[in-house]
Amino acid sequence: MATLQIGDQAPAFTSKDQNGNTVSLNQFKGQKVVLYFYPKDDTPGCTAEACDFRDNYQGLKAKGIEVLGVSVDDEKSHQKFINKHSLPFTLLADTDKAIVEAYGVWGEKNMYGKKYMGTHRTTFVIDEAGKIEHIIAKVDTKSPTAQVLELLGK
């Protein structure tokens, strides 16, 4: 598992979004990016997190911040999740786990005593130059936007 630190260059990636379009981190040079990793579409915590970003999306955009969500779900799953909850931002389908592994968020998890591999909910704030400005390892699924804005002093 990669261990990224604040100040590191954010690992470059190219992936498909919910519509099958190719998206790469390089497209967002010159703006801040909230790159948030979440375990699974349409589960309670992930829905709360996505809906908070949805409800605050225009305010983030006004501050020059783009939001990208990443999970290992496929494009079809992302489309359903977006349509069900009217999500205005891009979700990346990391089905080959290249992005979660590059960012060090794929690893062993433990639920009810059962060990399994999965995505650790983590948010990275990437600055305009593509460097990692903040890493939020303990994400508050009910108010992730407030966590981000607090770190940015906005």
User: Quick check: is 46 catalytic?
Assistant: yes
Neighbour-count burial for 131-143, b at 16+ CB within 10 Å, e otherwise:
ebbbbbeebebee
| Residue in 46, 65, 67, 68 annotated catalytic | 46
Instruction: Please give the Cα distance from 83 to 61 (Å, whole number).
Output: 20
CA 91 to the chain's CA centroid: 8
End-to-end CA distance of the chain: 32
**CA-CA-CA-CA torsion sign (56, 138, 142, 95):** positive
Instruction: Please give the Cα distance from 89 to 21 (Å, whole number).
Output: 13
Catalytic positions: 46
